[in-house]
Structure 1
Amino acid sequence: MNKHNQMTHDPVTFDIIQNALEAVADEMFVAQRKASMSAIIYEVLDLSTSILDAKGEIAASGAGIPAFIGVLDKAIHGIFKKFPLETIRPGDVFASNDPYYGGVTHLNDMVLAAPVFAEGRLVSWVANIAHWNDVGGMVPGSMSSDATEIFQEGIRVPAVKLFDEGRENSAVFDILYTNTRLPEYLRGDLWAGIAGLRIGERRIHELIAKYGTSTFEAAISDYMNLGETRARAALKALPHGTYSFEEEQDTGQIHKVTLTITAEEFIVDLTDNPGQAGSSNSSREGTEIAVQLAFKAFTDPEAPGNGGFFRPLNVKTKPGTIFHVQEPGALGYYSEVEIRLFDMLLRALAHHFPGIVPAGNFASICGTVVGGPHPETGRHYTIVEPQVGGWGAWPGHDGPSGQFSGFHGETFNCPAEVAEARYGLWVDQIALNAEPGGEGQWRGGKGIDVHYRVRADHNFLSLGYTRSRIPPWGIEGGLDGSPNYVEVIRRKGGTERFSFATNVEVNEGDVIRVVTGNGGGCGDAKKRAPQDIARDIKNGYLTTERAREIYGYEG
């Protein structure tokens, strides 16, 4: 807290305002969720909301995907690069999905942001981001593993004004509605995001009216300082030094990181990594987000996740690499690059600081896109489904089953009832993955085995799964988990297995089998309690033959 704040503002008032900001961000989230058209938003919760300070630093965040929350400050910085402060007015609303203009992720993710003014000056921002099912491009769903440049991935919205001092820029709206295969859904999702911003702006004005502009601004500054204080305290408590780590990927590429921890900085050097290629690239800002998530999880998970907390973090990248793509590189599957980095950082920290991080998890978004003509209406549909999987075990505990990755956060899978009602698919099975892998004294959590049966001809399947060859790692003698993959079981016979694919034709009666990995095990399998082995056999997680082979089970 600075001297001025100590003299004029009490900590109780600050605490009330800071908690109110979290509540406002959550209310924005709920409003957007309830008003959205697409199940990827209202069921899966593939969105995030934030309140930011006047400089575009995150002050408070709502629920949703952690990797999205870190986008919104960077998106505001992208707006400032195009729009000088004196040109930003009350009533403006900005939109950006272009990673080369502050959009950070890929073109499917639309950022909406609005400035909040009080006493004639900018005092805050409200912002949100959500995945839109289709924004044009070379394939339905807009994500293609075959893309080589961003122009193939959909319409680019480079930080433009949707509203100029409250006046709708109808040309931008028309361009958005025209450049999608799902205009009704896009329209609904867009206006839901705008509604969320308006709720946030209204609530901030109510806070300012109650406590005053200067107190509001001082409370945000104090909250930022608290985040920084917590981060620096955590750094001082860590062993200082330089640590290197490298990890082979499914493709055979080697990803490398060097960590340097001092009393003042946490330095992550990613300069020595493969060159950008295809659509599996991350923006520089996206790489920072993956590092931020790992940094916070490792240093102080309970501290405020605001801009102040990340001040000691220093991320080094090299332009033209997968962690710092240069225009016009494609980013459709950016998420798999970032989650590989997030996972590698946790593994590196587990290697150098044993006992802090559990065994490996399935660690993929497992993005699955299916679409085509709906068998009842003939209208085009697109389902975008991230998948849940198994987490790793740790001493004394089996890993959780059927959870999203830590990168994807507190979100949900789409219920079978919603999928069947909205999309041209039957859901024949949702079960935990019974394949071997992840055994140990404490076993890894189970992935899933889901069967989607296609109801009409000329549908398509696109997907991007990593950890499809190299499974989640075990620790302390536990066995590695199992990989992620998709099988297409043809109605006329035969199966095809995929990890990355674009526009695979699927027809009536074909089954799309989604299998996500079991997490890694922990400890010598021979020490697993007999009652736990018996329970796994009873639940169908383990065959008697496998139990004898791995555990020496004689029950």
Structure 2
Amino acid sequence: MPIVPISGSEKFALQPAPLRADQRSIGSLPLHIVDDETVDGLDPLTYEVVRHRLAAITEEMGDAIKRMSGSVVVTDCNDFGAAIMDEAGDTVQVGLYNMQLAASLDMAAKWTLENRSANPGIKPGDMFLCNDPWVGGGLHQNDVTVLAPLFHDGELFGWTGAVAHQVDLGGVSPGSWSVDGMDVFWESLPTPPVKIVENGAVRADVEDVYLRRSRVPKLVALDLRAKIGANNVAHDRLTALINKYGPDTVKAVMKRMMNDAESRLRAKLLDLPDGTWGAVAHQDGGRAGDRNVYKIVLNMTKTGDRLIFDFTGTDPQVEGIINCTLAGLRGGIMPVMLTMLCPDIPWAPGGIYRTIEIISEPGTINNCTFPAGIGKGSVASAWSTQNAVSETIAGMLSTHPEHSEHLMSVCCGSWDLTVLAGVDQRGGGFVTMLCDAMAGGLGAKVDGDGVDTGGVNCIPMGRVADVEINEFSFPILYLWRREEEDSGGPGKYRGGVGGSSCFIPHDSPVGAVHMVVSAPGKAVPQAPGLAGGYPAATQYDVLVRGSHVLEQLKAGEMPSSLEDLGGEAHTVPPHLETDLGVRDVYYTHWQGGGGLGDPLLREPENVAADVLKGKVSQRAAIGVYGVAVDETGTVDFDATTRQRQTLRLERAGLSHHEAKTGAPA
């Protein structure tokens, strides 16, 4: 049965029209604005001081969230975002955390302005909670935003926003990732902006409605207060800044930051040649049992000082959990814009968005309509959108000798989701998303290899929780967590390698642990290379039933490979929900980054060094790089020359005889 939009849901899927530059109110809500003369007349020193203070405030917001949260996903893995916006909801500054999330806060602020100003009203001391991806503020329902309007002298001066991934907000499956889901009604309830704080006090009725859906309400309640606290910190700092420099000066700096980001990006685009670059990214399987592969098509055109992202040809939305909304599509664009195009430009998305146009048909997998399933949208179609954007922007930058220094091949191509739930070692209920895959491999650069297990490019400050933290917090025992050879894409410059984790349930009073797996990139590599570079390895997960690990540990032996585990090994499909028994082992192997340049052009000494370090196997050294190297790292240069010539002939479909004589052997 095809998914069709429900009548009346359209207002949740449309981005509100922007306010006029001179608009002084929305209904009875007065806005604080400044004219262009005030912006242009800023003293340069004052501008730099206040600009850096605004950036520091977003960092303080992040520190506040981490200090108050109790979730490992937030405190140890930095899966959250923070932003400062102006009175119209345009984003002035984002932090170095999850930029996918922060990039969509403007949508939620604009929607709140348009739909909540009259009823229930926007007043000093209010905050709004939202986890509706059709509104914005997050890419799936587990991304919960708290938006706080900032007033000065009775006028709406701006907004702050804090957003973080919540480990469980209901739905059919623990962690709210319902791999059997057909549509949004299998998932956590999307909630458009509701007033969670009124006149400085948390509304108990709204909080109860929000927490009632979760399997871990106390943890979610703590994260709610962390986000409220982060907004309070930001408002204290912003108020002090306004009192010191004056409201017009601070607002002029905010406007100037966006104007500077826009003008400097336009100048950079004018420096690059016009053209169109294309990419196709994929998702394998929309839900459990679905063996189809779905595509996201992008043609990015650069004309003058503008970029057009045209997603025409993208597959229609599907029955399953992998669709994302317009917020997810935008969240796939902005992180790459910031990290590749704007590393030397103020990170003010409100100005950067002015330089781009998005062409996308509603009802597609990365711009879906309600009630499509979006429970995995953040790390499914939004992530694949990011891969396609990364590939096209890198292609554009490669045409310029200076700007090419900032490009990377596609980084870790997919998120290897593992959700664990059950009874912890202290007898309490738990749900968590294991964030080991945050240590993905970064893509290769034009002048060097990608960073091994360096992270994911949409969360610059993303981290992996210590093994000891995970074992202390949850009833699991690691057998290993390590980098994996051959996981980075081969090339003249190699993509950074990914890694793997292997663990068993441990010390839960009930023994078994419930597990939900959702990891694409198993049918099609999702971190392609550039300029002849090869893609990173595909995702690979294995569930071993009835292992011999307990006996090995009792005997003082530590298994170090899948072959050591005994039992019955099952390759895990992209989506699976099951239980881990006390004798079961789960192995999860996430992806590296794409390579850059022909692998046959890689220096043999670099291949040998990779073999010695366990980054590349001897089999790949000879078969992919054409380098004959022994286990001591010694290169046979004559054999290497012959092997590389053989590989080149094989690529051309020729034998040595044909190459010499021109006649078939």
Query: Where on the TM-score scale, by shorter chain, does this alignment land: which range?
Result: over 0.9
- Structure 1 residue 505, shift from structure 2 partner: 1.5
Query: Could you tell me which residue of structure 2 aligns to residue 419 of structure 1?
Result: 470
Query: Could you tell me which residue of structure 1 aligns to residue 445 of structure 2?
Result: 394
- Equivalent positions of 1:214-363 (< 5 A) are 214-247=248-281, 249-250=283-284, 251-277=292-318, 278-306=320-348, 307-335=350-378, 336-351=380-395, 354=398, 356=404, 357-363=407-413
Unaligned 5+ segments in structure 2 are: 1-33, 285-291, 548-566, 635-665
Give the Cα–Cα distance (whole angstroms) in 2 for the partners of residues 287 and 478 of structure 1: 26
- Are the aligned partners of 1:339 and 1:407 in contact in 2 as well (CA < 8 Å)? no
Asked if residue 496 in structure 1 is aligned to residue 570 in structure 2, the reply is yes
- Are the aligned partners of 1:231 and 1:310 in contact in 2 as well (CA < 8 Å)? no
Give the Cα–Cα distance (whole angstroms) in 1 for the partners of residues 493 and 202 of structure 2: 57
Give the Cα–Cα distance (whole angstroms) in 2 for the partners of residues 437 and 32 of structure 1: 33
Asked if residue 553 in structure 1 is aligned to residue 628 in structure 2, the reply is yes
Aligned partner of 2:186 among 126, 136, 152: 152
- Are the aligned partners of 2:61 and 2:231 in contact in 1 as well (CA < 8 Å)? yes
Give the Cα–Cα distance (whole angstroms) in 1 for the partners of residues 41 and 278 of structure 2: 47
- Are the aligned partners of 1:102 and 1:159 in contact in 2 as well (CA < 8 Å)? no
Give the Cα–Cα distance (whole angstroms) in 2 for the partners of residues 545 and 219 of structure 1: 57
Give the Cα–Cα distance (whole angstroms) in 2 for the partners of residues 216 and 167 of structure 1: 27
Give the Cα–Cα distance (whole angstroms) in 2 for the partners of residues 2 and 473 of structure 1: 47
- Structure 1 residue 478, shift from structure 2 partner: 3.7
- Are the aligned partners of 2:211 and 2:221 in contact in 1 as well (CA < 8 Å)? yes
Asked if residue 453 in structure 1 is aligned to residue 512 in structure 2, the reply is no
Give the Cα–Cα distance (whole angstroms) in 1 for the partners of residues 299 and 617 of structure 2: 42
- Are the aligned partners of 2:137 and 2:144 in contact in 1 as well (CA < 8 Å)? yes
- Equivalent positions of 1:38-53 (< 5 A) are 38-53=71-86
Q: For the aligned residues, what is the CA RMSD? A: 2.3
Aligned partner of 2:90 among 54, 57, 73: 57
Q: Secondary structure at the match of 2:607?
A: helix
Greater displacement, 180-189 / 403-412: 403-412
Q: Secondary structure at the match of 1:407?
A: coil
Query: Could you tell me which residue of structure 2 aligns to residue 369 of structure 1?
Result: 419
Distance 1:290 1:542, change over 3 A: closer
CA deviations on 1:317-346 (whole Å, 9 max, x unpaired) are 111111211111121111221111111122
Distance 1:71 1:360, change over 3 A: closer
Give the Cα–Cα distance (whole angstroms) in 1 for the partners of residues 51 and 365 of structure 2: 37
Query: Could you tell me which residue of structure 1 aligns to residue 43 of structure 2?
Result: 10
Query: Could you tell me which residue of structure 1 aligns to residue 8 of structure 2?
Result: none
Give, as a single letter, the amino acid of the residue that structure 2 aligns with 1:467: G
Query: Could you tell me which residue of structure 2 aligns to residue 531 of structure 1?
Result: 605
Distance 1:373 1:477, change over 3 A: same
- Are the aligned partners of 1:17 and 1:216 in contact in 2 as well (CA < 8 Å)? yes
CA deviations on 1:188-213 (whole Å, 9 max, x unpaired) are 11111111111111111101111111
Distance 1:266 1:3, change over 3 A: same
Give, as a single letter, the amino acid of the residue that structure 2 aligns with 1:145: V
Asked if residue 515 in structure 1 is aligned to residue 565 in structure 2, the reply is no
- Structure 1 residue 7, shift from structure 2 partner: 7.5
Give, as a single letter, the amino acid of the residue that structure 2 aligns with 1:332: G
Give the Cα–Cα distance (whole angstroms) in 2 for the partners of residues 346 and 210 of structure 1: 41
Q: Secondary structure at the match of 1:449?
A: strand
Query: Could you tell me which residue of structure 2 aligns to residue 430 of structure 1?
Result: 481
Give the Cα–Cα distance (whole angstroms) in 1 for the partners of residues 583 and 489 of structure 2: 33
Distance 1:461 1:312, change over 3 A: same
- Structure 1 residue 178, shift from structure 2 partner: 1.9
CA deviations on 1:12-49 (whole Å, 9 max, x unpaired) are 21221111111111111101111101000000011111
Give the Cα–Cα distance (whole angstroms) in 2 for the partners of residues 436 and 135 of structure 1: 34
- Are the aligned partners of 2:179 and 2:577 in contact in 1 as well (CA < 8 Å)? no
Give the Cα–Cα distance (whole angstroms) in 1 for the partners of residues 44 and 459 of structure 2: 34
Greater displacement, 281-290 / 512-521: 512-521
Give, as a single letter, the amino acid of the residue that structure 2 aligns with 1:469: A
Give, as a single letter, the amino acid of the residue that structure 2 aligns with 1:513: Y
Distance 1:10 1:348, change over 3 A: closer
- Structure 1 residue 283, shift from structure 2 partner: 0.8
Give the Cα–Cα distance (whole angstroms) in 2 for the partners of residues 312 and 396 of structure 1: 29
Over 6 Å off, 4+ runs: none
Greater displacement, 464-473 / 116-125: 464-473
Unaligned 5+ segments in structure 1 are: none
- Structure 1 residue 298, shift from structure 2 partner: 4.5
Give, as a single letter, the amino acid of the residue that structure 1 aligns with 2:233: I
- Equivalent positions of 1:127-138 (< 5 A) are 127-138=161-172
Give the Cα–Cα distance (whole angstroms) in 2 for the partners of residues 436 and 296 of structure 1: 26
Query: Could you tell me which residue of structure 2 aligns to residue 109 of structure 1?
Result: 143
Aligned partner of 2:459 among 404, 408, 411: 408
Query: Could you tell me which residue of structure 2 aligns to residue 468 of structure 1?
Result: 522
Q: Secondary structure at the match of 1:410?
A: coil
Q: Secondary structure at the match of 1:483?
A: coil
Give, as a single letter, the amino acid of the residue that structure 1 aligns with 2:214: T
Distance 1:282 1:120, change over 3 A: same
CA deviations on 1:297-333 (whole Å, 9 max, x unpaired) are 4433321121012212111111111121111112111
Give the Cα–Cα distance (whole angstroms) in 2 for the partners of residues 538 and 367 of structure 1: 31
Q: Percent identity?
A: 26
Distance 1:326 1:549, change over 3 A: closer
Give, as a single letter, the amino acid of the residue that structure 2 aligns with 1:40: V
Greater displacement, 194-203 / 158-167: 158-167
Distance 1:446 1:242, change over 3 A: closer
Query: Could you tell me which residue of structure 2 aligns to residue 188 of structure 1?
Result: 222
Asked if residue 380 in structure 1 is aligned to residue 429 in structure 2, the reply is yes
- Structure 1 residue 263, shift from structure 2 partner: 2.2
Distance 1:477 1:553, change over 3 A: farther
- Are the aligned partners of 1:365 and 1:465 in contact in 2 as well (CA < 8 Å)? yes
Q: Secondary structure at the match of 1:365?
A: coil
